[in-house]
Structure 1
Amino acid sequence: MGTSRFKSWNLMGSLLVFLLSFQLLALVQFLQVEAQGSWEVVVENAGIASMHTAVTIYNNVVLLDRTDIGPSQLPLPDGECRNDPNDETSTHDCTAHSAIYDIASGTIRPLFIDTDTWCSSGQFDTDGTLVQTGGDNDGFTKIRTFAPCPGDGNCNWVETGTPLQNGRWYATNQRMPDGSQAIFGGRSCDTVEYVPSKGAPVYIPLIANTNDAQNDNLYPYVHLLPNNQLFIFANRDSILFDWNTNTAVANLPTIPGEPRNYPSAGSSVMLPLSGFNGWGGPEILLCGGATYGAFLNPAAALPASITCGRIAPLDAAPAWAMENMPMRRNMGDMLLLPDGNVLIVNGAGNGAQGWGNAQNPVQTPVLYNPNAAAGTRFQTLTATDIPRVYHSTANVLPDGRVLIAGSNTHQFYTLTGYLPTELRIEAFSPPYLSAGPRPTITDAPGALGYAQALTLTIAGGNPTAIELNLLSAPYSTHSFSQGQRLLQLETSIPVSAGGDLYTVTATAPPSSVIAPSSYYMLFAVSNGIPSTASWVHIG
């Protein structure tokens, strides 16, 4: 009897060990699938917290804060100081409020900015110059330019003599097919104007009508569609806009759920356009936001939105298809990755944008696969140790990593306490950077005309599964990357060129409606693994 009982317990023990081992193996496999990507702090102290960030054609990154925040942690060089009698905090300031980060060397060089760039907007011009507009206080109507240079250069900000016609604070810029920039909205501003000017600003009823007690119509989401119209979204509503006549041509359905723009702070992307389907079928994705009232009553710490909405605005009967993210999030940054997936990073689970309004930082990025079936599109990735909430940014780098900067939920630099001002800069390596050998573009052209044919030689990767994708360099601020777009070129079947080399023939985008003239990062993507990008001027 004792022997039988021992055998029984031994069998049960073996079974228990087997089940525990199986569960442990399953857990390890789950973690391997779900927890992917890696983080690295690339700058321990940038000296400024960047609320506006953009990547230039010289593989360096413009960092930009506001000027009326008081002294930063980054001195201006050679005893230089900014003397501004209009500054609300420091009329004599010998510290920088903009800088340039050189990716290769990891160095930070201070830049001089004259007037206040708080909650301003921007976009790269046709020649790769960053055009930056508006701000607060003495920056309200300013237009500034930054012509980038190599890491050892001395390029700096220039304030132009031509002001905006309407002051722009919390506005959105979009580069247009004719080479101009359209600037939409802003606090107490319901118009669009163009730089260079095309005449008087034009009233936009959508922006006016979507205002509420929280001003949830700020930083409207603007996307240039392949039919030469604009998709414009504010609060919960959107229109199709003919920029040639400056008129709304269609009202789109209201998205269910919460407000989605500043200060409720969701985010938005236009999903990749493809030459394989004639550049048609655009879709817009919006994710996150805040419960209405979160900005008006920050002490309540109301929960962020958990939903995403997806719409094909040019369909005969467009409608929002809703799905849930793995976790609630506002102030998230949505980025188109070189492989066509969408990264959602940064943000908080409660509250809204504004000084001290965020709680429960969301430090886990999420990957969204637009080509997967509904219900299977999200994948959680490796979490960062650094919270990134209000005034954070995210930008794709030419090497395929994602640069994460900023986070300041305080009115001034506050380096201690809850959610302190964040001066560290991180780089996130998405899972594709550890998925296998990367392809290499060996002979990319420096420029491409519209509809021009090109042949590229590519080393490594899988020649049976290759994409050539053009990714713009947007202006990242306040949870929206202005001017972001990904274009998949129509390519031929690869042809062997001997060894691990093969050639791919492709066709450039057909017009400035699909690819507004500027510089783009050209990635070769093999089985979802991107090369390092080559900069190519389109147009």
Structure 2
Amino acid sequence: MDNVSAFLPSFLIVLFLSTHVRADLPGTWELLVPDAGIASMHTAVTRFNTVVLLDRTNIGPSRKLLPKGHCRFDRNDAVLKRDCYAHSVQLDLKTNQLRPLKILTDTWCSSGQFLPNGTLLQTGGDLDGFKKIRKFEPCDETGSCDWVELNDVELAEGRWYATNQILPDGSVIIVGGRGSNSVEFYPPRKQNGAVLFPFLTQTEDTQMDNLYPYVHLLPNGKLFVFANTKSVMYDFNKNVVVKEYPPLEGGPRNYPSAGSSAMLALQGDYSTAEIVVCGGAQYGAFLMRSVDTPAHGSCGRILATGSDPVWVMEDMPNGRIMGDMVMLPNGDVLVINGAMSGTQGFELASNPCLNPVLYRPDQPVGLRFMVLNPGTVPRMYHSTANLLPDGRVLLAGSNPHVFYRFDAEFPTELRIEAFLPEYLSSDRANVRPVIEEVPEMVRFKGKFDVVVSVSLPVVGIVEVNLASASFATHSFSQGQRLVKLTVTSAVPDGDKKYRIGCTAPPNGMVAPPGYYMAFAVNQGVPSVARWIHVS
């Protein structure tokens, strides 16, 4: 019997109890799925409003069976040679129903990114997945799409704890990994395979704090790459570092020191980009296997495109490791998940951080952070957070153990939740826009109209903002970006309708080609997004 069906009676009770509203703190929580069958280490939202959840393959039994006759055979698997359990599932956001997917090779601590056609590219991992390239071509809820492992091409170097970023031409760069201080590209570039990236060698230490580097595509076409405490502007075409930024104080931030990073919304003439890096473990916590060492809450913010950039420091309301930073449709950043003590690694954290915080970039230093309504489910090591097309944030995973374990203080977590920011509260419903008309495809620099309806008369500018679908893993959303389009004032266009003139992004440096969630945002409140292809 399907796992979800077995829990339907208790699901209704748990949903009622888990949706709690606190008058003093903004935001609400919803339980979407009481048992997904797997704990998601990697999560991505597709253009069909489905979610791909993915774990390791070498963890033994999950709680979700593959269809009959679809078992995986691996004579090198130390736990199950014949594995009939799913380690990846597809979640349909309309029905909250799950469909098991079949993954063949080990995806432990791998990386991913969407290609321009909407296909999810998934690279690397451990053991038999070390050099593997996989693809998932998404489909709607009636389809049978599944993982495809490529046999005609593989990575030039094994990639474990690497980061992927789509580039202006639609290709993908794969950066770093444990023992791989290099970059390579997909599709492979004919003139080279793996290209040595000395910056990653320079940022190695005994904790391996250059793993899962923070990589952001800047609007000038270069990459901002952060590892350990250092960052550079990198010309990937010439394999040249064109700028070195000052070190960020407060200690290492990358795996296993467990900070996070986001690039703030691109807007205006798109000539500037600001990067935020927040949180992390105290240096040495990983080496000492210290579960109780307090995390720090310092954040650095830097104008990466500036002529003489420096880090501007501020503090979150509390220390946090393994926090996910999610760009919301209005340009705010949600910091959610994680713990307040310890470090990344199996059973190396304690004191779960249940309160999300909202980072409001346009406020003055000292006033940017707002503490939000706490959840009840600890989301520790190997948890994820993703923006959904309706403006909610999907939360999945948390498995701080080598195998699935349900009798621990922080058990393997199979529940899937959603956090609803304050902009989805009932008292904002009258200003929430509804997109009535939007093109399915736009070209760079193109002019187009978006028609929205709003219950109350529009006051001020209605924004149209494009949010990428990122690949969330290990406290960093690979490929995440928000682009605020240039728009005209909303013009009345019938009963409670308004027409907004929009200009598409100027090029692939601002918005790499692909599918984006297009949100209309009225007074900070986003619509349900419509998917739009930018090329």
Normalising by structure 1, we get a TM-score of: 0.93
| Contact 2:291–2:348, Cα closer than 8 Å, also in 1 | no
The equivalent of 1:492 in structure 2 is 488
Instruction: State how far apart, in whole Å, the 1-side matches of 2:491 and 2:187 are.
Output: 45
Instruction: State how far apart, in whole Å, the 1-side matches of 2:193 and 2:132 are.
Output: 17
| Contact 1:258–1:305, Cα closer than 8 Å, also in 2 | no
Match of 1:515 among 511, 516, 520: 511
Instruction: State how far apart, in whole Å, the 2-side matches of 1:234 and 1:54 are.
Output: 24
The equivalent of 2:287 in structure 1 is 296
The one-letter code matched in structure 1 to 2:417 is: E
The one-letter code matched in structure 2 to 1:138 is: D
Instruction: State how far apart, in whole Å, the 2-side matches of 1:313 and 1:484 are.
Output: 16
| Contact 1:463–1:502, Cα closer than 8 Å, also in 2 | no
Displacement after TM superposition at 1:56 (Å): 0.2
Displacement after TM superposition at 1:229 (Å): 0.6
The one-letter code matched in structure 1 to 2:219 is: P
> What are the Cα deviations for residues 133-192 of structure 1, in whole angstroms up to 9, with x where unaligned?
000000000000000000121000000121100000000000011111000000011000
Structure 1 residue matching 2:199: 3-state secondary structure: helix
Instruction: State how far apart, in whole Å, the 2-side matches of 1:153 and 1:195 are.
Output: 27
Displacement after TM superposition at 1:315 (Å): 1.1
Q: Does 2:265 match 1:272? A: yes
| Contact 1:400–1:429, Cα closer than 8 Å, also in 2 | yes
Compare 305-314 and 480-489 and name the one that shifted more: 305-314
Structure 1 residue matching 2:296: 3-state secondary structure: coil
Alignment of 1:127-206 (within 5 A): 127-161=117-151, 162-198=153-189, 199-206=192-199
> What are the Cα deviations for residues 376-431 of structure 1, in whole angstroms up to 9, with x where unaligned?
00001110000001000000000110000000000000012210000000011110
Alignment of 1:73-84 (within 5 A): 73-84=63-74
The equivalent of 1:504 in structure 2 is 500
The equivalent of 1:422 in structure 2 is 413
Instruction: State how far apart, in whole Å, the 1-side matches of 2:291 and 2:115 are.
Output: 42
The one-letter code matched in structure 2 to 1:303 is: P
Alignment of 1:218-257 (within 5 A): 218-257=211-250
Q: Does 2:62 match 1:68? A: no
| Contact 2:291–2:343, Cα closer than 8 Å, also in 1 | no
Displacement after TM superposition at 1:463 (Å): 4.7
Structure 2 residue matching 1:421: 3-state secondary structure: coil
Instruction: State how far apart, in whole Å, the 1-side matches of 2:70 and 2:198 are.
Output: 45
Instruction: State how far apart, in whole Å, the 2-side matches of 1:131 and 1:316 are.
Output: 35
Tell me how large the CA RMSD over aligned residues is: 1.0
| Contact 2:519–2:526, Cα closer than 8 Å, also in 1 | yes
The one-letter code matched in structure 2 to 1:446 is: E
Unaligned runs of 5+ in 1: 1-30
Displacement after TM superposition at 1:50 (Å): 0.2
The equivalent of 1:459 in structure 2 is 453
| Contact 2:461–2:489, Cα closer than 8 Å, also in 1 | no
Instruction: State how far apart, in whole Å, the 1-side matches of 2:516 and 2:420 are.
Output: 20
The one-letter code matched in structure 2 to 1:212 is: D
The equivalent of 2:380 in structure 1 is 389
Match of 1:212 among 205, 213, 223: 205
Displacement after TM superposition at 1:306 (Å): 1.1
| Contact 1:466–1:524, Cα closer than 8 Å, also in 2 | yes
Moved >3 Å (runs of 4+): none
Q: Does 2:54 match 1:58? A: no
Alignment of 1:367-406 (within 5 A): 367-406=358-397
CA 1:205–1:439: 2 relative to 1, 3 Å? same
The equivalent of 2:441 in structure 1 is 447
Instruction: State how far apart, in whole Å, the 2-side matches of 1:299 and 1:209 are.
Output: 26
Q: Does 2:449 match 1:470? A: no
Instruction: State how far apart, in whole Å, the 1-side matches of 2:396 and 2:459 are.
Output: 36
Percentage identity across aligned positions? 53
Structure 1 residue matching 2:224: 3-state secondary structure: strand
| Contact 2:295–2:321, Cα closer than 8 Å, also in 1 | yes
Q: How many residues align?
A: 506
Instruction: State how far apart, in whole Å, the 2-side matches of 1:62 and 1:389 are.
Output: 20
Unaligned runs of 5+ in 2: 1-21
Displacement after TM superposition at 1:68 (Å): 0.4
| Contact 2:271–2:305, Cα closer than 8 Å, also in 1 | no
Displacement after TM superposition at 1:79 (Å): 3.9
Displacement after TM superposition at 1:299 (Å): 3.4
Instruction: State how far apart, in whole Å, the 2-side matches of 1:288 and 1:529 are.
Output: 28
> What are the Cα deviations for residues 479-515 of structure 1, in whole angstroms up to 9, with x where unaligned?
0000000000000011111221111001000101111
